[in-house]
């Protein structure tokens, strides 16, 4: 009976040591959360509602291609519809903006559009070691409650 207890305790200790070791190894493989982590192009799917402001109001959907430069700057081209009406398409001059990735992989960005739409501020989280960015708009034109949208962006990888 004592031999069985010793075997069980030793097994438990080995299991715990193995779990601690694998946790440490995983943390070593995660990329550091900073602006460089998301350098590159991301395709975003945008969904939500435009609740007020100028132009049409209603369900908002769209797609965007955003390039993060790794230094806190971004450019974006997009196509967006609100209530079934196209309010932006890929023919406008790309928008520009700034972003910050915090050490906990949360962040913020601001997009300044060139086609008359108000600037948009969003909060985001970086997941999958930078392969995905999940966002939520927090203000448009400096006001909250105008746009209730979120988006998921996937890193675009070019395979030649």
Domain 35-155 listed as CATH 3.40.50.300: no
Q: What's the whole-number mean pLDDT along residues 101-117?
A: 96
- Ordered by start, the domain boundaries in the chain are 1-30, 35-155
Report the predicted TM-score, pTM, of the whole model to 2 decimal places. 0.78
List phi, psi (to 5°) of 29.
Answer: -85, -15
pLDDT above 50 for 111:
yes
Q: 77 burial class (0-12, 13-18, 19+ CB within 10 angstroms)?
A: middle
Q: What is the rounded distance in angstroms from the CA atom of residue 73 to the CA atom of residue 68?
A: 6
**24-49 per-position pLDDT tens digit:** 323 334 579 999 999 999 999 999 99
Output the average pLDDT for the chain.
84
Q: What is the rounded distance in angstroms from the CA atom of residue 93 to the CA atom of residue 86?
A: 16
Q: What's the whole-number mean pLDDT along residues 48-72?
A: 96
pLDDT above 50 for 14:
no
**132-152 per-position pLDDT tens digit:** 999 999 999 999 999 999 999
């Amino acid at each position: 009976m004592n031999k069985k207890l010793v075997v069980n305790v030793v097994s438990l200790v080995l299991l715990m040591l193995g779990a601690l070791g694998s946790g440490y190894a995983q943390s070593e493989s995660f990329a550091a959360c900073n602006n460089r982590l998301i350098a590159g192009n991301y395709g975003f799917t945008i969904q939500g509602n435009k609740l007020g402001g100028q132009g049409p109001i209603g369900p908002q959907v769209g797609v965007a291609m955003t390039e993060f430069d790794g230094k806190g700057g971004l450019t974006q081209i997009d196509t967006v519809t609100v209530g079934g009406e196209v309010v932006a398409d890929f023919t406008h001059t790309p928008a520009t903006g700034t972003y910050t990735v915090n050490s906990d992989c949360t962040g913020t960005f601001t997009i300044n559009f060139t086609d008359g739409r108000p600037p948009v501020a969003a909060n985001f989280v970086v997941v999958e070691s930078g392969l995905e960015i999940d966002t939520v708009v927090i203000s448009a034109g400096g006001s909250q409650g105008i746009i209730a949208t979120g988006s998921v962006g996937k890193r675009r990888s070019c395979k030649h």
